[in-house]
Chain A
Amino acid sequence: DTGVSQDPRHKITKRGQNVTFRCDPISEHNRLYWYRQTLGQGPEFLTYFQNEAQLEKSRLLSDRFSAERPKGSFSTLEIQRTEQGDSAMYLCASSSGTSGGEKETQYFGPGTRLLVL
């Protein structure tokens, strides 16, 4: 069990550029989640996949954000036309998807820290 991995760990970009982050979940997990964590705050839910289907999106996920999980394995989160307010830690988590959702244990990756200049 190699755990959840995320790449890159750090990204510095200029305002207006596009960035893409990757998440590789634990191999047998069929549910994958993205969260955003700003300084001094707890993680906030962005979106959730079951296999390749994106089943829920937070209103935090503006139209500049898009997430995919094309083959039900790894996922990408893209931010277009980045803004300084997008600076945050982006966390990915996965779970085994064997219950109704509320009582699943989510396992988190190390996160990607984004800084928009």
Chain B
Amino acid sequence: AQSVTQPDIHITVSEGASLELRCNYSYGATPYLFWYVQSPGQGLQLLLKYFSGDTLVQGIKGFEAEFKRSQSSFNLRKPSVHWSDAAEYFCAVGAPYKYIFGTGTRLKVLA
């Protein structure tokens, strides 16, 4: 079955600390992978995407993600978190004409 798992429901980090959000997928074909961010009451903003090629992809706001086929993972990282990064983060895999999303990870940033 096609699915995306985000094992961490909540993560709290201090401002300036590094961040890694985990994402594991199950998909039978070549995965096309996305990370979105959602601020409270808002829609989803694309952070980055992976289609092919270099397995380390750079996105907006200083985020990057690494695709590891052997681990079926696409983890999101940021070296130094800012207070404005507090939001909910969703990983998704592209299926024909739809996305399959994980349940999200809510990030809290401590000053």
Contacts and interface: CB of A to CB of B under 8 A. Distances in A.
Contact of B101 (A42, A50, A101): A42
Interface string B85-102: 000001010111111111
Interface residues of B, number: 27
Contacts of B102: 42
Given A40-B103, A42-B90, A105-B49, A100 B96 contact: yes
Contacts of A108: 36, 43-45
Interface in A50-103: 50, 55-56, 91, 93, 100-103
A28 interface: no
B97 A31 contact: yes
B70 interface: no
Contact of A33 (B46, B98, B100, B103): B98
Nearest to B97: A101
B60 to A, nearest CB: 13
B5 to A, nearest CB: 11
B44 to A, nearest CB: 4
B90 A110 contact: no
A4 interface: yes
B98 A42 contact: no
A2 interface: no
A21 B24 CA distance: 33
19 contacts: A4-B43, A6-B43, A40-B103, A42-B4, A43-B44, A43-B101, A45-B99, A45-B100, A55-B97, A91-B43, A101-B97, A102-B32, A102-B95, A103-B32, A105-B34, A108-B36, A109-B43, A110-B43, A111-B43
A102 B52 CA distance: 12
A113 B38 CA distance: 14
A115 to B, nearest CB: 13
A16 to B, nearest CB: 26
A106 B43 contact: no
B28 to A, nearest CB: 11
